[in-house]
Amino acid sequence: LDPETRQYTTADKDSFAYITTRDRWPVIITGAIDDVYRSVSRTEGDKLEEGKEIVKQLTAMKYELQHDRKMVPLQDDGQTDIALYNKELEKLKHPTWFNVPWLFAECYFYRRIQTFFALSIQWATYDVFSRQKLSTFRSSRSAVLELASHYRTLREQLTSHKSSPDPNAEEVLFREMCEICLWGNATDLSLLTSLSYEDIQKLQGSEARKASESNILTNDLGSAFEVLQKAKESAKRDAPFLQDRRIDIVLDNAGFELYVDLVLAAYLLDSGLATTIILHAKKFPWFVSDVIPADFASLLSALAAPKPFYETPLDDENLADAAPPPALELKEIEDLNFIFQTLSSHHAEGKLILRPHPFWTYGGSFWRMHAEAPDLYEDLKGGILSIWKGDLNYRKLCADADWDPATPFQEAIGPMGKNSGINVLALRTCKADVVTGLKKGDDERLKEMEGGSDEFGKQRKWAWGGKWALCSLSQGK
């Protein structure tokens, strides 16, 4: 099921896998401990006792990780994937934290945290990353408002040109919306351990986006547009038989990224490039900031009622000397409400659907989807295009393997590629070592740039920080 090319492991001292294990996971788990600790201090009775137990379990896991202990089997929380995780541990001969395939270890990390909560009674649905997700979303306020205003202008233009759409302008717009959606991924919270809020804000505005256009190393957005355009034309010709043109978006992060994904979804529906959008989400907190259904709900309520969301300080921001957040202007509120109304009417009409699936939090790569989640694999075949957001989805598509960077993307995604019947468009900012689809010599050139590698040219540092991106399409024919 897996490719023959070896996967990155946490023992690879030159890869981001090692740095992640040594530096990033301890910070993430410490953040989780602090969060539960804070919530525990506001509870009493059984909930208090259970909360303390969770803190203990998290602390023990952090110790095991930092002391390179064996990865213990997961406790059974009643979900079917536990057996898969534990089987994988056996297959890997019960590895230690610093000598295990990176992808599996990282999934195990979040899955194990989830068992602590799932096995409790009072904390079963608690989201340990929720505080962080909400406060970062609030801090992206200026980019949110900028895009809301841009979207509204666009919609007005779309409505006035509906009778005679200019295909060139349509393609330009499609590219722009996809690029917004791409760079919205540069800001996932698990990277916050190395980026500041200021860095994040710089990454989000439209100026930053324009400046970053040349950082897209492979850009197949033109071909993706063609796929959609052709489907639209043939639907027009052969209607009503081909009326349903569905696009799947495999979501990544909540907050700002989910917001831009929703704007893209709305645009795809408004422009007639799709008739239905399915949003694929996780079922429990994952990789710090990934979308779970509750994030979808809280984003929509923030758009519906932006004043209380943006103008009430969060409890951790409630410092006596902190300036209160500036009040929103009327136009800003109207722009956000406009997006909310568009989204909620698409949702109410069944054109915008959120669909969580347990497979998204399994420990293996998407090379295994046809075997481990045949229902999902079949489901994806029903769409005209699937858009895969972010770094982790890309790593899973390519099995997190050490491909030669010039390997064609379609080859690296194995069973999701040729003959799969699925058109896969990955929108990925690079935050890990795996890269495919580059031109020969590109990797070497990027390594030679300042900060692109170490003195021996071994590390692929350029690919770790979200500065470079890939928009790769594989047509499943």
Binding site for ligand F6P (CB under 6 A): 20, 106, 185, 188, 190-191, 252-253, 287, 390-392, 395, 431-432
**Least distance to Mg ion, CB of residue 393, Å:** 8
**Least distance to ligand F6P, CB of residue 246, Å:** 23
| Contacts (Cβ under 8 Å, ≥6 apart) of 140 | 187, 200, 201, 204, 255, 256, 259
**Least distance to ligand F6P, CB of residue 59, Å:** 21
By CB under 5 A, name the binding residues for Mg ion: 188, 252-253, 287, 290
**Least distance to ligand F6P, CB of residue 71, Å:** 17
d(CA 55, CA 61): 10
133 binds, among ligand F6P, Mg ion, none (CB under 5 to 8 A by kind): none
Whichever of 295 and 402 has its CB closer to Mg ion, that residue is 295
**Least distance to ligand F6P, CB of residue 360, Å:** 11
Whichever of 392 and 471 has its CB closer to ligand F6P, that residue is 392
d(CA 316, CA 352): 34
460 binds, among Mg ion, ligand F6P, none (CB under 5 to 8 A by kind): none
Whichever of 340 and 362 has its CB closer to ligand F6P, that residue is 362
| One-letter amino acid for residue 228 of the chain | L
> Within its chain, how far is the Cα of 354 from the centroid?
15
| Contacts (Cβ under 8 Å, ≥6 apart) of 105 | 10, 21, 71, 97
For strand 246-250 and strand 276-281, is the pairing parallel, antiparallel, or unpaired?
Answer: parallel
d(CA 125, CA 118): 7
Whichever of 351 and 395 has its CB closer to Mg ion, that residue is 395
Any idea what DSSP says for residue 287? T
Whichever of 369 and 432 has its CB closer to ligand F6P, that residue is 432
SS3 121: coil
106 binds, among ligand F6P, Mg ion, none (CB under 5 to 8 A by kind): ligand F6P
**Least distance to Mg ion, CB of residue 127, Å:** 14
d(CA 206, CA 94): 47
On whether the CB atoms of residues 339 and 266 are closer than 8 A, the answer is yes
395 binds, among ligand F6P, Mg ion, none (CB under 5 to 8 A by kind): ligand F6P
d(CA 377, CA 79): 20
Whichever of 287 and 409 has its CB closer to Mg ion, that residue is 287
